[in-house]
Chain A
Amino acid sequence: MRASTTDEDRWAALVSREARGETLTCEEDDFRRRFEDRHPETSGERGLWEALGALGDPRGGEAEMSDEAMLERVLSSHRAAFVRPRSKPLLRRSVAGGFAAIALAAALVLAVAAELVGPFGSPDPGEDKKLDGIEEAPKNHALPPPPLDVDVAVDADAGVDAAEAREDAQEAESPLNSLEPGEPKRIEAPSKEGRGNPASESADDLLKSAQVHLGEGRTASAIEAYKKLLARYPGSVEARVALVSLGQLSLGGGDAAGALRYFERYLAGSGPLGMEARLGRIQALRRLGRTGDELAAIHDFLARHPDSVHAPRLRSRLEAPPSK
């Protein structure tokens, strides 16, 4: 006899409850036993509801962060973000910038839709949009540097003297600093005075202007602002940020050689966007078909950022190098 849906559902709920570690009442336990006796055909399904009930269980092993470490990181990050806003985020990945990433992504979708022809020309139509699992901005999907990761924030290749500059760069670039708690905050455009009088535009104004243009889908204007920033304030922290952004925009626009130049200019110095620049460089080398250089760049990346979210994909690429 086929079980009724109501009974089946109740039985499934009881099995998953048991798997969650809850104790059934005598009546519930009795129902479950009787149901299983009457409907042996559901025995194969039992594993399904048990597995579902256990889905939130601790996973064990070293893959998971300990509770203590998570407690410490959350508290540190919260206090750093809202009590001492110039401090570095402490999360393993860019969790603290997650809200901003979502907000920026929404703005950038509009940018992508609006920009049908990029200023760098179209990439080779046959060229892969993906680089063996490395996220790459699709054609004209020009993205600003992603939220900063911790391993970037503690990038060991920067000297002590650069620490303040790193924090400034984070402040200028990290979405974390453009957020109010809990809700995305728009990046404000430079003042009208600044726009009306180009000579008065500071490096920060130009950087913000570029980000606003990008967010509103004006990629060409964003590139112009980034380039203006580079030309006017070549030694500024903001210009360093612009190098990575231009690299990513170039890559998205199909100009791998140009992208490579920007990333390498950035990497010639030090700074908080080292990981992004190294990743971009790998992508550019891949696009250019410079496989040997690409693999060397991957080794370098893995040595510097072994815990990066991109590391597993890059390792798999090393294990099975492309024929190209």
Chain B
Amino acid sequence: MALDRERVRLAGEGEPKAQTWLVARLLPRVRKIARAFLRHSADADDAAQLALLEILRSASTYRGEASVEGWAKCIAVRAVLRFAQEERRRDRLIDRNESGEDETAPSDERASEALPRELRAYLEELAEPQRNALILHHALGHSVDEIAEMTDVSPETVKSRLRLGTAALRKKVQQDIAIGRRRSLG
């Protein structure tokens, strides 16, 4: 921990090797966060870079009270959520999905094979706070308390969002499955 703190401190001071170490160490986790929240690969890449840049800029604030990963993931999640929110706002303006720029990542397709529709289509239908809570919990494995800290709400609120989001997701999938069965019977 002390060694990590020293390296992060050096990264914060602009030491190139320490910066390289910090980015290389966090890059897979940060990319996972970005991929989880963003459908388009280019957007996920951009969000990951944005988050890594923010981590580098914040390196001088690291006090070693948590692990480097724990400290960085809060920064990364917040940066990615801001990016995703901005992208959604922009998408609403340009109506991207109706203009042919729709991309489904191969891994998303594979993962959604067992579902009547692609997972992202279901997630899009949820309220944003519920969607974010579900992704943070199920896709990224964060606890309720961690999500509460990252999203600046109480743990009770996170629990409520997870409960409502889960119920809504289940209902939508079950409805689609039922419709699909009826279709196949018909």
On A, residues with C-beta under 8 Å from B are 5, 9, 12-13, 16-17, 19-20, 22, 44-61, 63-65, 67, 70-71, 73-75, 77-79, 81-83, 91-93, 95-96, 98, 101-102, 105, 130, 132-135, 138, 181-182, 309, 312-313, 316
A181 → chain B, closest Cβ, in Å? Answer: 4
* B100-A98 in contact (CB<8A): no
Task: Considering the complex, give the chain A residue whose CB is closest to the CB of B135.
Answer: A55
On B, residues with C-beta under 8 Å from A are 14, 16, 19-20, 23-24, 27-28, 31-33, 35-36, 41-42, 44-50, 52-54, 56-58, 82-83, 86, 90, 93-96, 98-101, 103, 105-108, 110-115, 119, 122, 134-135, 137-141, 162-163, 166, 169-170, 173-174, 177
* B111-A312 in contact (CB<8A): no
Task: Considering the complex, give the chain A residue whose CB is closest to the CB of B113.
Answer: A47
A73 to B70, CA, bound (A): 24
Given contacts A77-B53, A78-B57, A313-B99, contact A55 B14 (CB under 8 A): no
A17 to B138, CA, bound (A): 7
* A95-B46 in contact (CB<8A): yes
Can you name 5 A-B pairs with beta carbons within 8 Å? Answer: A50-B111, A54-B111, A74-B53, A96-B53, A135-B93
A182 to B169, CA, bound (A): 36
Contact for A95 among B33, B50, B95, B137, CB less than 8 A: B50
* A133-B27 in contact (CB<8A): no
* A56-B36 in contact (CB<8A): yes
A28 → chain B, closest Cβ, in Å? Answer: 14
Cβ contacts under 8 Å, B57 to chain A = 78, 82, 181-182
B90 → chain A, closest Cβ, in Å? Answer: 7
* B114-A51 in contact (CB<8A): yes
Cβ contacts under 8 Å, B31 to chain A = 56, 58, 67, 70
Cβ contacts under 8 Å, B27 to chain A = 67, 70-71
* B107-A54 in contact (CB<8A): yes
Given contacts A44-B177, A133-B96, A135-B94, contact A56 B33 (CB under 8 A): yes
A66 → chain B, closest Cβ, in Å? Answer: 10
Task: Considering the complex, give the chain B residue whose CB is closest to the CB of A132.
Answer: B99
* A55-B41 in contact (CB<8A): no
* B138-A101 in contact (CB<8A): no
* A53-B83 in contact (CB<8A): no
* B33-A91 in contact (CB<8A): no
* A98-B86 in contact (CB<8A): yes
* B111-A57 in contact (CB<8A): yes
A47 to B114, CA, bound (A): 5
Cβ contacts under 8 Å, B112 to chain A = 47, 51
Cβ contacts under 8 Å, A20 to chain B = 139, 141
5 tightest A-B CB contacts, nearest first: A47-B114, A133-B99, A316-B100, A56-B32, A63-B41
Q: Which of A19, A44, A71, A105 has the most CB of B within 10 A?
A: A44
A65 to B19, CA, bound (A): 20
